[in-house]
Amino acid sequence: MSYGNNFILTLFTNNPDLARAGDNAGINRIGLDLERIGKKRRQDANKAWISNHQKHELQIIRDQLTQAALFARTNPIHAGSQREIDYLIDQGVNVLMLPMFRTVKEASIFIELVNGRAQVSLLVETAAAAMRLREIIKLPGIDEIHFGLNDLYLDMKLSNHFEVLTSGLLDMLADIVTSAEIPFGFAGIGRVDDSRLPIPGDLIYAQYPRLGATRALVSRVFYSPDFRAMNLTHEINAARSALDQWEQAGSEAQTAALISLRTKVTTWAA
């Protein structure tokens, strides 16, 4: 198997038709984004998508899946976390993602509550979690780490999410996780040749093998405005092929793509 074929893609959706199409297309994990606590307060609803997914929709999404693992992003640690986690696991969720944590203790509590019944994905999207990453990765029971660039740039009061990717910050965080041999991913991918994107998607694809990442979310722009108007299997295969091409291109080409990405981002931001 190649780098691109082994690359783990995760799709958030409560649309059973999209879930079924994603499963047929070979997306590895499909499920719901159930995070609510604090999200409207920190994100501008006019600029950022806020999920309307509901727990009872898990069953209908689960019923569409024949290959993909059932996935869910929970709320941050709160008084009802045990009930929430138990419910999700009872519904057959295979992978649980913890968002918006800031301390080693919060990550530890989440791992303890899951108690080996599902895979643990820690979403590093706060400055505090990033600063404490060296301590966090010492916790037993972490199956993967994902870096959420949107909330991370907001929490750090940076200009945009691309600044996290191109400034060297993500390189440092990736090195920390790699040293612990914990698989990681970051952000979400769009379609390779989508001309609507302000930054060429191909330059983003190059950063995954450059950093050693092995997973990503499938962003909403990938399948918008209507997944029915596209061949989703073809698009997913094209994404995996692009990842392969960049992995095979080697470090010199990947670094050149980073330099080009920095230039594009600077022009776009201006």
- Which pLDDT tens digit goes with each residue over 52-107? 999 999 999 999 999 999 999 999 999 999 999 999 999 999 999 999 999 999 99
**Torsion-angle region of residue 141: left (phi > 0), alpha (psi -120 to 50) or beta?**
left
Asked whether residue 45 carries a pLDDT value surpassing 70, the answer given is no
Neighbour count for residue 26 (Cβ, 10 Å): 15
Q: Which helix (H) or strand (E) holds 32?
A: strand 29-33
**CB–CB of 216/9 below 8 Å?**
yes
CATH of the domain at 214: 3.20.20.60
The contacts of residue 247 (CB under 8 Å, 6+ apart) are 2, 3, 4, 209
Identify which has the larger pLDDT, 215 or 42.
215
Q: How confident is the model at residue 1 (pLDDT cuts 50, 70, 90)?
A: confident
Exposed (0-12), middle (13-18) or buried (19+): which is 103, by Cβ within 10 Å?
A: middle
- pTM greater than the 0.75 cutoff: yes
Q: How confident is the model at residue 242 (pLDDT cuts 50, 70, 90)?
A: very high
Q: Which residue is it, tokens 């993909």?
A: 68
What's residue 40's pLDDT? Answer: 67
Provide the residue type at 117 as one letter: R
- Which pLDDT tens digit goes with each residue over 220-235? 999 988 999 999 999 9
Structural domains counted in the chain:
1
Which residues constitute the domain of residue 203?
3-269
- Which pLDDT tens digit goes with each residue over 113-130? 999 999 999 999 999 999
Sign of CA dihedral 127, 133, 135, 138: positive
Provide the residue type at 159 as one letter: S
